[in-house]
Structure 1
Amino acid sequence: MTLVIFFLMFIIGSASERLCPLRASIDVLEGEFFFLCYPESRQEHFQEEAYTINWYRENAGKQQLIKETRRIVSQMNFLEFWPVELSDSGNYSVTHSNGKQNFVIQKWTLNILERNESSCFNKNHLTTEIKNAGTGHSLKCSDLSVNENDSITWYKDCKNYEHETERELHFRTLTAQHSGIYTCKIIISHEGKIYHSTNTIKLVVEEDAPEAVTLEIIGHHEEIETEIGKEEILNCTGFLGYYMQEDASLYWLINQMFPEQCTGIPANEPSICEEEFKKLQLGNKFYITRLLRIKKVTDEDMHHNFTCMLQADESTQIKIVKLKKGNTQDLPVHVFTTGMILAVLFPFVAIATVFVCVIFRVDLVLFYRNICRRDDTAGDGKEYDAFVSYLKDCVSPIEEEREFALKILPMILEENFGYKLCIFERDVFPGGAVVDDIHSFIDKSRRLIIILSQNYVSDRAIYELESGLHKALVERKTKIILIEYMPISDYSFLPESLSLLPSKRVVKWKKNKSLPLNSRFWKNLRYLMPAKPTKINTKRHYNNLDIGSKAAQLWTEDCDFNAVL
């Protein structure tokens, strides 16, 4: 999504003052009027009587003083372009000098986009607004002009729109027919010549959600294969609709008898207990869920009916779950006897074996996959091995997190272990409907990798998490992998429904210690990824300097690209 440039005008008597927004990266179309500026309040701490303001542009790594021309004009805290050209792309800064020392006031990255000769807008230079039908809305034309009375024309899909000339385009009641791409064009007169600035908005009008929804239990009657002595957790989830029904109840019955409640203390819990009732909200949909925990499956449990019952609005829905033995055969008597004798005669060997299996469990599984060439991805219809979700903010104080998501993670998993990742900024063509794209690409992925941070919950990131939780808890199609990039002491900022994942695992990144290909971090991550035949590239070696230099070379370009999204 493109960062749109906003310039505000406040008129006091006959004088006017233009205020400037704080922004680090700016996209502008070639051939249009534009100006850089910084708020005058930033000069308040400079109290010297004599000082100068200088504008600079970075050239070959060095700061070069900008000289005024008829096209580029400097006026104190404004640098005007009449108009901008493709060659103006680069890094700019403005300094305050008292003759002894220079102080940098502000820096910008200016990216000039090429104009589309066959259209009135550039698809990479627009913002997207998604609204519901039946509501009122206004589209605002960014105030890019110098004078308040400059001429304004609105276009819809590059055709003049109802001869509208106001700075705001009002819709009393939105309908699906209002969807389209709207462009406002501001005509500016300067020194006898005509210039213009444009702002483009893609308006998507969605139909309202259905009012009447039938409440239902997710899933049908089912039989679960298990083994004697194994722990089983039965999950029952009910869909309530688009609002939370306070009178809804969800509970388990075992042969028409209520189970005991789980106490949270393992030593005091019964062999079968019902966990606490929980409410969930995924997007604009509401669910309730309850788990039934069976500590150790017995032969008697194979003959029980485990019934989940959902009641609300005087209606009842049920789901029956039965346990059955898997296709396993009991060990022959002589094999069991031999095993017992070995356990008695060689206790240290048995303890050492258990110790090795527990400590090196991940290594053994990866070794087994490699030897057997196991492939869990064949024929499942998925296109990607994992969708990567992380905080998308170029001005985030934690820039290393972004480098990790866009550089280190795909560099190792794709180039060295043969996985195929879906990274929104890299793999999704800009300009589409963001919500639909996220849902579609998560649905095409076998895993959802979430790179956790305290600032993770942003508008788009939280939707990616909610979509992944819906597929993990309700549809059981996608498994979630959590990467703790920075140490986190409190997980309360994450949705409560994340705690319902039976096999939730967190892989912790430990910076330089985790960089080598054979580190514990990459092994644990590959263990949680789907098994597939891989050919490890041992000829390439990555260390902190290699990765850091490659990330630094592309950092500025990626921030600009992701700003478009």
Structure 2
Amino acid sequence: MQMGYAVVIFIFPIVLEGCCVGYHQRTKIKTAAQQNITHQYYRAVVGEVFTMPCLQYVNQHMEVGWSRTGEGSKGNEHLSVDCGREFLAEAKHSGKYTCLTCGSKASFHLQVVEKSSLKCFETEESSKYLLVGAGGEVSCPGLNCSNNTEVIWYKDNKAVSEQHRASCVKNGQLHLCQVSEHDTGVFFCDRQIIEQGVKWSFRRAVNITVIPHYTPSYPPRIIYPDGNMTEEVELGQSHTLECKIYFPFEINFSPEVQWYVHYSGNMANMTALHMEIPQQERVTLKEFKVTQRAIIKEVTPHHLNNTYTCIASNTVGNTTVTIKLKKKHKVKWPSLVGYPVGSLLLVAGLGIVLHVKWLELQLIYRSHFQHGKHNGDEKEFDVLLSYVWSPPSADVEGVLTLSSPSGPDTDEVAARLSSMAPLNSEEHKATQRPLEVLLSQVLEDQWGYRLCLLERDVLPGGAYTNDVVLAIQRSRMLICLLSADYLSNSNAVFVLESGVQALLQNSTLRVLLIWTGRASASLIQPDPPLPTLVKRAMKVLPSLDWTPGKSARATDKFWRSLRKSMPNQTVKLVSLMQGQ
């Protein structure tokens, strides 16, 4: 047992020495890193990466912005640099820098020297390759030219000795027990030199590149094309040949990829194709991805007989894949799948239209296709005339000109009606009155229809809504004289709305809208707003326009259209003739 303890005690210092973990050295370096930076002097080399120092107080870093106070090589040129930021040192960066935002006014002097002023300068000392997963050593540049081996190493603005990793500094060299991918970057080493009584911190930079190996162990692997394959092309169109390759890491990476064409399948007759610039990217620590393309500007039937080869090579070997082209067969549309899909979309579209426009479609059908099927139904009134008295217009009302009744009337009946047509000059003067009065006289007195006027034929004292519904049920047709005043009158709008509802429930009713021309239908903004049912119905219900002051021909056209829209009156005309 005692022998075992002795072996452990003997081996333990050796392990510590090999793994570079020494408490005494850590404490010494840490104390040096925590010293006050006030009145320090730093030196850098032109063209090397440099980083401004940061203040540190007992495990806490203070981010500082350094500002040059004008003691530089270029007079009072202002320059501000944040601590920890890396930049290439130039002669213009020399000068005194002060931190005005710190609790105590810290400052330091920076001197940037030329490489030619150094006693010895070796370019290879500024860069180093380290193998991932292994240990590594990094030397501080210019250390061999100095007797001082006291060096402090930094990475990411923090002393390496304070980082949680196995490392140490021996004779100015940084020893890393294990290298990882995160070690790629710039390491800084500060060594102390004394010149003319001034103590300088000479900060040098070493670029570390972590690599998986020094030489590759396998040839490139092509991931596309996947083996020897065939690609579809369209004749007359351009086509891109694409080769995607993964190359193992090399320090001096220079991928070689080439596309070749073998004419008519003759593998001996091989010609290099013109290619685009290859695209390269580092996908992992161990591999690069390279994409090489060659473009065929226009595919012809001759290209279908050729074989195309992609060859990728490195120092280990090469890899080859081939591609042949074949004509692409276009699928005609609609295919077997397109027919049911198109039919489904058509049915769905029709369903949506019917759902949205169902009310308008019902009104159009009942107004234009079914109103003539029940003209023989007995009703107490032929027409219910709905209007609102409007202020008299200064324009002259249209001339009353009656036309012959529509339908297959006898010649005798036609002659009887023609005797009722144009008025003489005295009658013409009498007809210069509002359409509300003129229309009731024409329908009732001239044409002999049984007219229902709410203010005249409905007994007072009843409920207005019930009276309107009952009057519509007792009439074969509803005529509404629309105007801005009409659409702003709630009682009048109720009559129109009731008529539309009755039309939807009973196809024997006719509804006719007559715009009096006092306002455009698109410009009328009634208050209160119209019900939705009325708005939609006004777009599709039969309508006529009455504009006062028009020519006799236009007025005659209005009366003819109105006459055609009225219910059949054959029985009444025969009775009129017999009375004659």
Q: TM-score, normalised by structure 1?
A: 0.28
Higher helix share: 2
Q: TM-score, normalised by structure 2?
A: 0.27
Of the two, which has the highest radius of gyration?
2
